[in-house]
Chains A and B, each alone.
Chain A
Amino acid sequence: MVESIVSTGVAIGCIYALIGITYNVMFSASRVFSFTAGTLGMLGGVLGSLFIAQMGMPVAVGLLLVLTAGAVFGIITEIVAVRPVLKSLDQHLYVLSTLALALLFQQFTAIEWGTEARPFPRLFEIARGGFDQQFWLPMLACVAVIIGLELLYRFSLVGRAFLAISEDNYAARALGLPERSLRMASFALAGVIGTLAGFAGGEMLLAFFGNAPILTFYGFVPVALGGMGNNRGAVVAGLLLGLFQQAANFLVGGIFASVAVFTVFIIVLLVRPEGLAGAALQRRV
Chain B
Amino acid sequence: MPTLAAEPLLQASSLSAGYGKIRVLRDIDLTVAAGEIVALLGPNGAGKTTLLRAVSGLLPWSGNVRFAGRGLAGASPRNIVKAGLAHVIEGHRVFTHLAVLDNLLLAGYDLPRGERAARVEEVLVLFPEIAAKRHERAASLSGGQQQILAVAQGLVRRPRLLMLDEPSAGLSPVLVDRILVVVRRLHEGGTAVLLVEQLIEKALALANRVYALARGSIVLEANTEEADLPQRLEHAYLATPRHTS
Count of interface residues, chain B, beta-carbon cutoff 8 Å: 24
- Beta-carbon contact of B87 and A174 below 8 Å: yes
B65 on the interface (CB 8 Å rule)? no
- Beta-carbon contact of B95 and A164 below 8 Å: yes
- B57 closest partner in A (C-beta): A173
| Nearest CB in chain A: distance from B98 CB, A | 6
- A177 closest partner in B (C-beta): B109
Consensus secondary structure, chain A interface: helix
- Beta-carbon contact of A175 and B105 below 8 Å: no
A176 on the interface (CB 8 Å rule)? yes
A145 to B63, CA, bound (A): 49
A160 on the interface (CB 8 Å rule)? yes
A174 to B78, CA, bound (A): 8
- Beta-carbon contact of B97 and A167 below 8 Å: yes
- A interface footprint on B130-155 (CB within 8 Å = 1, 0 otherwise): 00000000000000000000000100
Of the candidates B20, B80, B96, B107, the one whose C-beta lies within 8 Å of that of A167 is: B96
Knowing A164-B95, A164-B98, A167-B96, say if A174 contacts B89 (CB, 8 Å): yes
A250 on the interface (CB 8 Å rule)? no
- A interface footprint on B83-101 (CB within 8 Å = 1, 0 otherwise): 0000101000111111000
B33-81 interface with A by 8 A CB criterion: 56, 58, 77-78, 80-81
- Beta-carbon contact of A177 and B56 below 8 Å: no
Of the candidates B56, B82, B105, B110, the one whose C-beta lies within 8 Å of that of A160 is: B105
Knowing A171-B89, A173-B58, A175-B106, say if A163 contacts B97 (CB, 8 Å): yes
B27 on the interface (CB 8 Å rule)? no
A177 to B95, CA, bound (A): 13
Consensus secondary structure, chain B interface: loop
| Contact sample, A vs B, 26 pairs, CB 8 Å cutoff | A89-B20, A157-B105, A160-B98, A160-B105, A160-B106, A161-B109, A163-B97, A164-B98, A167-B96, A167-B97, A170-B58, A171-B89, A171-B93, A171-B94, A172-B106, A173-B58, A173-B78, A175-B107, A175-B109, A176-B77, A176-B80, A176-B81, A176-B82, A176-B107, A178-B78, A179-B78
Additional 19 contacts, C-beta under 8 A, given A160-B98, A177-B109: A157-B106, A160-B106, A163-B95, A163-B98, A164-B98, A167-B95, A168-B95, A171-B93, A171-B94, A173-B78, A174-B77, A175-B81, A175-B109, A175-B153, A176-B77, A176-B78, A176-B81, A176-B109, A176-B110
User: Which residues of A approach B to under 8 Å, CB–CB?
Assistant: 89, 157, 160-161, 163-164, 167-168, 170-179
